Amino acid sequence: MTMLGDRQQLAYIAAQAADARVNVELETEGMTLNIGPQHPATHGTLRIIARLDGEQVVWAEPSAGYMHRGYEKLTEVRTYPQVTALVNRIDWLGSFANEVPFILAAEKLMGVEAPARAQHIRTILFELSRIANVSLFLGDLGVQLGAVTPVFFAFRDREYVLNLIEAATGGRFHPNFDRIGGLKDDLPAGFIDETRMVMKKLRTFCDQIEDLLFGNEIFQSRTRGIGVIPKDVALQYGLSGANLRASGVDWDLRRDQDLPMAWNKADWKVWSHPDGDSFARCWVRLQEVRESTKIVDQLLDTIPAGPVMAKVPKIIKVPEGEAWVSTENPLGEMGYYVVSQGDQGPFRVKIRSASFNNISIVPWVLKGVYVPDIITILASLYFILGDIDR
């Protein structure tokens, strides 16, 4: 205190007095609620700090970073083909989908295009990882809202899809199958028939989930009108995927973007919902799984013949330049901004993952909700920790 000048000293005393008065006047005390880092609703280790006034949240802040692996730094010491092994682990439930935009960006810089057959198989595997990813979401959603049955269905039926991915790529979770210029291998024998059968099962699964969950009165009353995100807010925060479409934005990068993939060769529909609440987000995802099974079914009929790998040099050197490619991944828009300086490895890779933006809206959307709705909203926003922290 002796260090302070007179005016500062006066200001300090005044501040102290003001604090003391506030403390006397306060009758109730807020409470801080910690959710996580180890909570089933967090799909990993996200911690949410919520300040409550009674049952209502007045302030909430997610605290990520428990799983930051520094992929952006690591890519700078890897060669291009090595990067796919890293980015595989960003959204670990739909791994193959993570590899595709990176490979497409590298191909764009090199001026290589994968053969038609490879593009077709890529799209099939991409949609299979979406089905594996989102079907787990549909089951998990039930558990978080107190319905135990759906999750068993989800794990059972996801296993069929994982088996298909394993048969084609050799890895259940981390295929590392996509290569610059095509794919590592062709599809195994019997894959097409097996996939058709599994797609039928998955459609039954969707019907079951719709009966069990979406038609359930408790589920509806817990999700309808909860966590409403209007269109313009969703766009500002960069929400993508089903979260954005559930806010009434009919925008799907698979349909509205010109990429060397085979989505435009199938007939399917982009679903959106005008409500913007938790129910809408879940419902849009359910429809997405159905559409994905349709896409896979149609693409299986039309796989073109030919090689699965273009002619590329053994040592891949990518010419100087910058490229941005993003795709509509299971969680939303996933993109890579790749800067090359003509080396064997990238100079800088910015990984734009969907969950990072999707979860940055949490402080906004949790303001004023009741405690049990926190779980509903987090579950319906659907994020994967690896996809936030990267």
Partner 1 sequence: VFPLSSTDTATEAPRDERRDGEMARITAALGAAVLDSLVKSNDDMWIRVSADAWRTTGETLKSLGYTYFCFLSGIDWLPSPFGKGEDDPTEPTPERDSTIKQGYTGGATRFQVIARVMQPFTSLGVNIKVDIDDSLAIDSWCSVYAGANWHERETHEMFGIGFNGHPDLRNMYLPSDFEGFPLRKDFPLLARIVKPWPGIVDVEPLPGDDEEEGEAS
CA atoms within 13 A on the CB side of 145: 29
232 near partner 1, judged by CB under 8 A: yes
Q: Does 237 bind partner 1 (CB under 8 A)?
A: yes
- Counting Cβ atoms within 10 Å, is residue 381 exposed (0-12), middle (13-18) or buried (19+)? buried
Among 166, 207, 211, 320, binds partner 1 (CB under 8 A): 320
| Minimum gap (Å) between residue 6 Cβ and partner 1 | 32
Using the rule CB under 8 A, is 389 a contact of partner 1? yes
Shortest Å distance, C-beta 111 to partner 1: 4
| Number of C-beta neighbours around residue 45 at 10 A | 17
Cα–Cα distance measured from residue 333 to residue 242, given in angstroms and rounded to the nearest whole number: 10
Residue selected from 361, 374, 377, 384 as contacting partner 1 according to rule CB under 8 A: 361
The residue within the footprint of partner 1, chosen from 68, 200, 269, 367 (CB under 8 A), is 68
Which residues ranging from 10 to 39 are in contact with partner 1 (CB under 8 A)?
Answer: none
Pick from 73, 156, 269, 367: which binds partner 1 (CB under 8 A)?
Answer: 73
Inter-axis angle of helices 116-144 and 149-169, nearest 10: 160
> Using the rule CB under 8 A, is 161 a contact of partner 1?
no
Number of alpha carbons in the 13 Å side-chain half-sphere of residue 168: 27
Q: Which of residues 151 and 309 has its CB atom nearest to partner 1 in the complex?
A: 309
269 near partner 1, judged by CB under 8 A: no
- Beta carbon nearer to partner 1, 7 or 314: 314
Q: Is 134 in the site for partner 1 (CB under 8 A)?
A: no
Cβ distance to partner 1 smaller for residue 72 or 210: 72
Please tell me whether residue 49 binds partner 1 under the rule CB under 8 A. Answer: no
CA distance 180 to 284: 33
Decide if residue 270 touches partner 1 (CB under 8 A).
no
CB 39 within 8 A of CB 359: no
228 scored as a contact of partner 1 (CB under 8 A): no
* Beta carbon of residue 341, minimum distance to partner 1 (angstroms, whole number): 7
Q: Does residue 315 interact with partner 1 by CB under 8 A?
A: yes
**Smallest separation, CB 249 to partner 1 (Å):** 6
Among 25, 32, 111, 148, binds partner 1 (CB under 8 A): 111
Is position 260 an interface residue for partner 1 (rule: CB under 8 A)? no
Contact with partner 1 (CB under 8 A): which of 22, 77, 148, 189? 77
Q: Does residue number 264 form part of the binding site for partner 1 (CB under 8 A)?
A: no
* Nearer of residues 67 and 212 to partner 1, judged by Cβ: 67
**d(C-alpha 175, C-alpha 372), whole Å:** 37
364 binds partner 1 (CB under 8 A): yes
Contact predicate 280/288, CB 8 Å = no
Identify which of residues 119 and 123 has a Cβ nearer to partner 1 in the complex: 119
76 or 210: CB nearest partner 1: 76
Residue pointed to by tokens 């938790």: 278
Using CB under 8 A as the binding rule, whether residue 345 contacts partner 1 is answered as yes
Residue 111, both tokens: 């001026």
Q: Which residues bind partner 1 (CB under 8 A)?
A: 64-65, 68, 70, 72-74, 76-77, 108, 110-115, 181-182, 232-233, 235-238, 249-251, 253, 256-258, 307, 309-315, 317, 319-324, 326, 333, 335, 337, 339, 341, 345, 348, 350, 352, 356-357, 360-361, 364, 389
